Structure 1
Amino acid sequence: MKQIILVLMETYRRQVKSWSFILLVLSPFIFIFVSLGFGYASSRLGDNTSDRVAIVSSNRKIASQFRYDKKKTTLVYQTKKDARKALDKEKIAGYLVLEKRNGQFIAKYVGEEKMDSEQLKEFGQLLQQKQQELNIQTAKITSQQLKSFSKQPILKQKIIAKGASDATIKTISFVFIIFLMYFILIIYTSAIAQDIASEKGTKIMEMIFSSMPAKSYFYGKILGTFAVIATHLLIYTLGGGLCYFIMPKLKISQGIFSEYQDTINKIITNLVSINLLYVLLGVILFTILAALCGALVVRPEDVSKAIQPVMYIVMLGFFGALTLGQDSNNLIVKWASFIPFLSSFFMPIRLIYGNVSIFQLLLSLGLLVLSAFFLARYVGSLYASLILQTDDIGIIKSFKRASKMK
């Protein structure tokens, strides 16, 4: 057991300290923060002086009443001439000439282009509000009369549960799960196969096998790789949780979270469940198979050919789940959820849609665990004869020879 732990720690340390692993883990977070940064920068750049609309009025009191855009610190000019100069120098986008005549506010906009729709809406609302205040003063309406005039009708809404929304949430959840599986398998199956192939036939391996059983070394390699994958997933989980708590407080993403908070919560509930166990077990099973493929080749450059059967199974599960994922009652989906190499793709679909009994769940998990256990034992028993082979006799013949020598 001590030997297995030593190999595990060495495999884990070597892979986690590599730049490829660090960049792989950090790349999604870098993408998120760069996207937020660009969004923030564009919103700040949108706040330049050329977007300002100035107010023109000789009456300072009227001008101050219509400084509607506090954020952009609306400019005020006393004469049209001064405002025109500012417009020619592109300091402002346009200006509003304000007058009060016969108990009525009159506003005229001057600019090279039409006023921005948001600015037009804000100014229109403010103009209506100020005109209403002026009308009340002119009509000498009492506070009691004003109170009765200000009564508004009440409109209430009651939102009931929507089936379509639940279906969308379930679809997003299972698509995320299978993409996560596909992403991890594509990266780590190739990595473990390449790592084992690079060690094959070296003098170092002969020395290692003389001091410890080959199967112990193999178990250590597999467990070390799995620890790296678990670390990768843990970082994503912690990083995702941090984003979940921080992003609703950021102005750039606040609106999205406030609108879709319930949907996001339901998706997270579907992800952080037994589905993650299926992802981990599926990764272990495929990693062991990839290790076998890596041990069958003589040259590291042949790994891409040897690992093709693993990639075919991964793609079968991935595209099959994408195609049939929205019909969890499909017979193929039901049968595939019990087949070890495919169940990690198909059983999460049935779990998300909630049509799996406890017996079926335990049976599927049991088959997956037993398959990983027996495959690991079998490949471990072949490992020494596979690694020490240096004859380029082909993958199938190498496997047959190793099976006879175990």
Structure 2
Amino acid sequence: MFKQLKLVAGQVYRSKIKTPSFWVTVLSPLLFPVVILILSFIIGKTTSDSPANLAIVDNPVLVQTLKSGKLLDAKLSEVADVETAKKKIIDGKIDGYLVKSDDKYTLVTSTDGTTKFNETTVKTVLSQIDLAEKAAQLNLSAEDLVILQTPADLTMKTLSAKGESSGGDSKNWANYMISVIVSVFIFILLMAYTQMVAQEISNEKSSRIMETLLAATSAKVQYYGKILGVTLLVLTHILFYIVLGLVASLVLKGNETVKSVLKMVNGVDLNFLVFAILMILVSIPAYLFLTAIIASLVNDQSQVQQAVSPIVYLSMIGYMSSVITSSIPNNIIARVLSYLPFISSTFMPSRLATEVSSYSDAYIALALQAVALVLVAKFGENIYAKNVLSYSDEKIFKQFIRNLRNK
């Protein structure tokens, strides 16, 4: 049986990996990040590095303060009034002007200029100037001002049964982003490979090839062989992305977008990454077995989409639930859903990333998903064997219910 299983899996793997449709499936998700990289490169090359031209309206003291402290990365000039500043903006001579009235600042910028002002940076600089002026009024020294501006020294740690570990927003944000990527990645893989399994089985049924195949091998061998072959394609898909990511990180290490991605990855908890990978490797075959069971009820190509849709909807429930329950993470429904097989594959990573669930919770969910994988695989053996040679005109749902009753 093992030899036959190997032959079926190898045939599925070799026949699919040579097709353009497989490589379109692999490469199409990369289109968006590639476009982002190209756009960031073009924007970086075409954006002017020269500082913005900023005019200060009727305030020589402010001009002198900004120039002496080099607080803003801008070419500063002074204008007598607002009307003059507006005319200069329209003529393209300045990128914006700053006016102070009744201790309030107004920054007016040009809509046509390529150089923009960062509101947060300008506000911080002006706040520092105001603070220095108030300190002078209160007869505070420069040392006193430095002391007042020194932020609190805060170290973030997390506490578990294993002890304390360093943590904080950077780690949590990195883990959360990876959890989102894992959820989206699982969904993309499921969309592609459940469709592939369904197409494979429906092709063989509609063309009556299945009858020939079952004359040489058993339905059980075909059932497990197809899932094994498609799972190998999934692993090839993942491995391709890993290799491509490593190559891109080396070749494009100077790119700002790549730098930000690498910075995020450096903040990821390694244990979280291991769990995410294991969850992918366990949950996707489980979904493929579900697809094979339902696809065995399909008679022709027109029913493939109908068969795959419930699987796709099921894969979306976990991620959507994590978004909906994010404001009430300790709700009993949210806790139960995070352990529920098939839903937990996208729900638990997001809860683990935000430290609502512990690693012991995560691995319990992983174990339950592994048990569900085995049970679904065994459950589907008889249903697949009964239906691959059945050509009923009944709707798929009715056939499935009838199979459950007769099992």
Smaller-chain TM-score range?
A: 0.5 to 0.7
Partner in structure 2 of residue 340 of structure 1? 341
Can you list the C-alpha shifts for 1:241-271, whole angstroms capped at 9, x where unaligned? Answer: 3333333334x547x54xx754331147476
Partner in structure 2 of residue 189 of structure 1? 194
1:278 CA displacement: 0.9
1:180 CA displacement: 1.6
1:168 CA displacement: 3.1
Q: What pairs with 1:356-395 in structure 2 (closer than 5 Å)? A: 356=357, 360-395=361-396
Can you list the C-alpha shifts for 1:73-127, whole angstroms capped at 9, x where unaligned? Answer: xxxxxxxxxxxxxxxxxxxxxxxxxxxxxxxxxxxxxxx8437899x9xxxxxxx
1:309 CA displacement: 2.4
Partner in structure 2 of residue 142 of structure 1? none
The 3 A distance-change label for structure 1 pair 311 and 31 is: closer
TM-score, structure 2 as length reference: 0.65
Paired letter, 2:315: V
Can you list the C-alpha shifts for 1:15-38, whole angstroms capped at 9, x where unaligned? Answer: 222212212322344544454344
Partner in structure 2 of residue 264 of structure 1? 265
Partner in structure 2 of residue 213 of structure 1? 218
Structure 1 residue corresponding to 2:229, chosen from 192, 201, 224:
224
Native 8 Å contact 1:317 1:345 kept in 2: yes
My pick for the range that moved more, 390-399 or 335-344, is 390-399
Paired letter, 2:373: A
Partner in structure 1 of residue 81 of structure 2? none
Identity over the aligned pairs, expressed in percent?
A: 28
Partner in structure 1 of residue 297 of structure 2? 296
Partner in structure 1 of residue 73 of structure 2? none
Q: Secondary structure at the match of 2:188?
A: helix
Can you list the C-alpha shifts for 1:295-333, whole angstroms capped at 9, x where unaligned? Answer: 112121112222332233222222112222465433223
Q: Secondary structure at the match of 2:189?
A: helix
- Alpha-carbon distance in 2 for matches of 1:328, 1:210: 53
Native 8 Å contact 1:279 1:344 kept in 2: yes
1:160 CA displacement: 4.6
Partner in structure 1 of residue 165 of structure 2? none
Partner in structure 2 of residue 179 of structure 1? 184
- 2:229 paired with 1:233: no
The 3 A distance-change label for structure 1 pair 5 and 261 is: closer
- 2:278 paired with 1:273: no
The 3 A distance-change label for structure 1 pair 30 and 338 is: closer
Q: What pairs with 1:59-78 in structure 2 (closer than 5 Å)? A: none
Computed over aligned residues only, the root mean square deviation of the Cα atoms, in angstroms, reads 3.7
Q: What pairs with 1:3-402 in structure 2 (closer than 5 Å)? A: 3-44=4-45, 113-114=92-93, 160-161=154-155, 163-250=168-255, 253=257, 256-257=259-260, 262-267=263-268, 269=270, 272-325=273-326, 328-354=329-355, 356=357, 360-399=361-400, 402=403
Can you list the C-alpha shifts for 1:33-88, whole angstroms capped at 9, x where unaligned? Answer: 454344444554568xxx9xxxxxxxxxxxxxxxxxxxxxxxxxxxxxxxxxxxxx
Paired letter, 2:246: G
Paired letter, 2:93: K
Native 8 Å contact 2:294 2:400 kept in 1: no
Q: Secondary structure at the match of 1:307?
A: helix
Native 8 Å contact 1:175 1:322 kept in 2: no
Native 8 Å contact 1:290 1:307 kept in 2: yes
Can you list the C-alpha shifts for 1:268-308, whole angstroms capped at 9, x where unaligned? Answer: 74763211111221111111111112111212111222233
Paired letter, 1:229: V
The 3 A distance-change label for structure 1 pair 202 and 369 is: same
- Alpha-carbon distance in 1 for matches of 2:248, 2:353: 24
The 3 A distance-change label for structure 1 pair 396 and 30 is: closer
1:3 CA displacement: 0.7
Q: Which runs of 5+ in 2 are unaligned?
A: 51-90, 97-112, 116-145, 157-167
The 3 A distance-change label for structure 1 pair 396 and 229 is: same
- Alpha-carbon distance in 1 for matches of 2:356, 2:43: 46
TM-score, structure 1 as length reference: 0.65
1:375 CA displacement: 1.2
- Alpha-carbon distance in 2 for matches of 1:172, 1:362: 20
The 3 A distance-change label for structure 1 pair 204 and 365 is: same
Native 8 Å contact 2:170 2:267 kept in 1: no
Q: Which has the larger radius of gyration?
A: 1
